């Protein structure tokens, strides 16, 4: 399995037989190296409904018929767009062709802004525990620091964790360091930073402060094998 980072909160997981794309904010994201017109995921996983996370989901899913796995209200909203969805919710786990998905809580908001400016509430935000080939990846989504991150770390043997560090909209580096300790992943990757001026951060500095050997500031397009 190969896991790659593509700016903001975009993560791609390539297995022997499936391509999984998480929070595909591609168009309008200068940090992203993917092409929304050519990427061909089999599944799209979404943490919440903000436009910088739903991103190009609608365009991609219409072209590829990828299944969208998302918190219930967000999934049902996307179903109204004629898309192939699988609704889930926090605490629920489901097995798919590629492995299992479990949604965790996240402390944030979730709403989608349509092209005409109307705002659609899309339920609860979430984090994602993705287990593929016996290894677990944790994508925290957008969240502030909360103590149940300890429980997530205690209940799961996490290989790779993606944790936001941007501040302003999510936890900043100081809180993210505590989150990294609690989640106790073998590797911790900072996400959700430098896309906009208000969330500019030094990812290398953050990674250097994570428990020795665990911090990994991934370059755009960089991948790791699990």
Per-domain boundaries in the chain: 2-217
pTM: 0.98
Which pLDDT value is given to residue 184?
A: 97
DSSP 56: T
Measured distance between the N- and C-terminal CA atoms of the chain, rounded to whole angstroms: 6
| E-strand stretches of the chain | 2-5, 11-14, 19-22, 43-45, 67-71, 85-88, 93-95, 100-105, 111-113, 119-121, 126-132, 135-139, 158-164, 187-191, 223-225
The pLDDT confidence band at residue 175, using thresholds 50, 70 and 90, is very high
Q: Count Cα neighbours of 194 within 13 Å in the Cβ-side half-sphere.
A: 14
Q: What is the pLDDT of residues 113-156, one digit of tens each?
A: 999 999 999 999 999 999 999 999 999 999 999 999 999 999 99
Domain 2-217 matching CATH 3.60.15.10: the answer reads yes
Q: What is the pLDDT of residues 65-89, one digit of tens each?
A: 999 999 999 999 999 999 999 999 9
The pLDDT confidence band at residue 26, using thresholds 50, 70 and 90, is very high
């Amino acid at each position: 399995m190969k896991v790659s980072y593509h700016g903001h909160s975009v993560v791609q997981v390539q297995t022997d037989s499936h391509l999984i794309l998480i929070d595909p904010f591609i168009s309008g994201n200068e940090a992203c190296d993917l092409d929304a017109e050519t990427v061909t995921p089999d599944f799209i996983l979404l943490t919440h409904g903000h436009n910088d996370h739903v991103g190009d989901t609608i365009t991609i899913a219409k072209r590829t018929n990828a299944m969208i796995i998302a918190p219930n209200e967000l999934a049902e909203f996307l179903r109204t767009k004629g898309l192939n969805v699988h609704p889930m919710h926090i605490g629920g786990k489901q097995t798919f062709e590629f492995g299992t998905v479990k949604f965790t809580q996240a402390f944030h908001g979730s709403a989608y802004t349509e092209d005409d400016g109307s705002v659609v509430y899309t339920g609860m935000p979430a984090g994602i525990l993705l287990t593929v080939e016996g290894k677990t990846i944790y994508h925290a989504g957008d969240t502030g620091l909360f103590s149940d991150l300890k429980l997530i770390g205690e209940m799961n043997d996490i290989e790779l964790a993606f944790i936001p560090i941007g501040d302003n909209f999510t936890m900043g580096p100081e809180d993210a360091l505590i989150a990294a300790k609690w989640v106790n992943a073998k590797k911790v990757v900072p996400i959700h930073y430098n896309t906009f001026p208000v969330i500019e951060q030094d990812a290398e500095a953050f990674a250097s402060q994570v428990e020795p050997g665990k911090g990994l500031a991934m370059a755009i397009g960089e991948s790791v094998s699990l």
